[in-house]
Structure 1
């Protein structure tokens, strides 16, 4: 299997839809995607039924990363929040995510505890403080194929110029890719790609970033594209409809065509591989 680093070194863009569990990851792999993204927002919803406010711990995130990575053969890209503390915490985050089998992780420049990057009221650490985290993450990784993604959430807080400046600083600090969260137009995206001396990742967040397709993101120059929350939003909407219908009718008969047949479900899980 080619590493994610090798995939990104080739032509085109790698698309990594987000998921919050191993079942979703297996379905995405079986659909033909080359990589999968582990969403912190989705994990907070799935594990706690709570918003993404930095409530999950490193051990909880790494444990879920291990389960997801172990269920698929394609690379897993994982949200690692702020690294869960200072430089010592960042080093442990790298070790735990490496042991979990993660192919790439991103560290964001918010204060701890963080918020979802699409929320208002974000607070950021200094550029140099986060650049030092990136340098330390690169220094302490043992697997040279583990990709460190320097993420900045400064676009909505401090503006585009500052976001690009931070992206440049994180690239200079050794980040393998740079992620500027919440770019608001194609023009902003193209400027970021031109201005930063590193491959760029983009998080396409439904309702908060331009609704472009993968081919357009590729033409702009992005190398890695994630749809971090889309599958969790789809799951939540489907569950709302399912719960409402079951409560009203007392039966799942109306869902006969919509439900995955048990045999197909067992196929997704690879039942035939087990004794």
Structure 2
């Protein structure tokens, strides 16, 4: 682990860590400059930004790791990354862990879908047996070089298989050594309380626009979550902004005075830290 802020150490302190999601290193820098303690690299957003395609398992491990390396190089705060299903069998999981850790990422989550996976907010999810995924978690924990590289056991079982199965999977992944557990798509505060009280590990929550209860960070903190991400909010906002800008240019023949507003060139250069290159 580098001299950067340690996510593992921060999670041992009181208070929830909010790690907003983004699909590029520029977004990571903007979040860092806004004062967030960590950032989250979204697989959904990366599939959209790199391929213009939905999150259906089209990106490979090496493509994801290289983006994780770019994020980690761009910011001093910890980077948490989507590692999908581990990109194959136990050997693939071991390589995924080793490569992400070497890239400077500080945490990854591994999900229990079949390969190729889908975004957890999509319909028609198919999952592997929980014991098979628990073994992936054990291999991931055994492979990492530092205990400060965090393994997050994620289950997408809530929508296709129900809350009881999602909690049972979370318990299995915690028992396998996951540092945190992430249950996707919990649908109410009562479900969240049940999960928090039933799983012997800290819990992460992915707040997805229109798919999960619209709670604030303070509310998630009060419930007892330790890590919170808004994984695709930035990508949704970017898409909306680009649609409006495209229509404005189409309608007016100019990119100036866009309804979305723009930064001055000097402000933009400041975000990128141009001065340190001189």
- Name the TM-score, length of structure 1 as normaliser: 0.99
Question: In 1, Cα distance between the equivalents of 2:258 and 2:44?
Answer: 28
Q: Match of 1:29? A: 32
SS at structure 1 position matched to 2:55? coil
TM-superposed CA distance for 1:254, in Å, is 2.0
Q: Which ranges in structure 1 are unaligned for 5 or more consecutive residues?
A: none
Question: In 1, Cα distance between the equivalents of 2:109 and 2:182?
Answer: 8
Match for residue 273 of structure 1 among 267, 273, 276: 276
Matched, 1:100 2:106: no
SS at structure 2 position matched to 1:5? helix
SS at structure 2 position matched to 1:93? helix
Q: Match of 1:67? A: 70
Q: Match of 1:229? A: 232
In structure 2, relative to structure 1, the CA distance for the partners of 1:232 and 1:251 (3 Å cut) is same
Question: In 2, Cα distance between the equivalents of 1:150 and 1:257?
Answer: 38
SS at structure 1 position matched to 2:246? helix
TM-superposed CA distance for 1:252, in Å, is 2.2
Question: In 1, Cα distance between the equivalents of 2:146 and 2:104?
Answer: 10
Match for residue 142 of structure 2 among 136, 139, 150: 139
Deviations 1:169-194 (A, max 9, x none): 00000000000000000000011000
Question: In 1, Cα distance between the equivalents of 2:163 and 2:120?
Answer: 15
Q: How does 1:123-134 map to 2 (within 5 A)?
A: 123-134=126-137
Question: In 2, Cα distance between the equivalents of 1:208 and 1:256?
Answer: 28
Q: Match of 2:188? A: 185
Runs of 4+ with >3 A deviation:
none
TM-superposed CA distance for 1:257, in Å, is 8.2
Q: Which ranges in structure 2 are unaligned for 5 or more consecutive residues?
A: none
Q: Match of 1:2? A: 5
SS at structure 2 position matched to 1:260? coil
Deviations 1:138-184 (A, max 9, x none): 00111221000000000001100000000000000000000000000
Match for residue 46 of structure 2 among 43, 46, 71: 43
Question: In 1, Cα distance between the equivalents of 2:242 and 2:136?
Answer: 39
Matched, 1:58 2:61: yes
Match for residue 263 of structure 1 among 259, 262, 266: 266
Matched, 1:211 2:176: no
SS at structure 2 position matched to 1:254? coil
- Larger CA deviation: 67-76 vs 257-266: 257-266
SS at structure 2 position matched to 1:78? strand
Question: In 2, Cα distance between the equivalents of 1:81 and 1:91?
Answer: 13
Q: Match of 2:151? A: 148
Question: In 1, Cα distance between the equivalents of 2:254 and 2:125?
Answer: 44
Q: Match of 2:241? A: 238
TM-superposed CA distance for 1:256, in Å, is 8.4
SS at structure 1 position matched to 2:181? strand
Q: Match of 1:197? A: 200
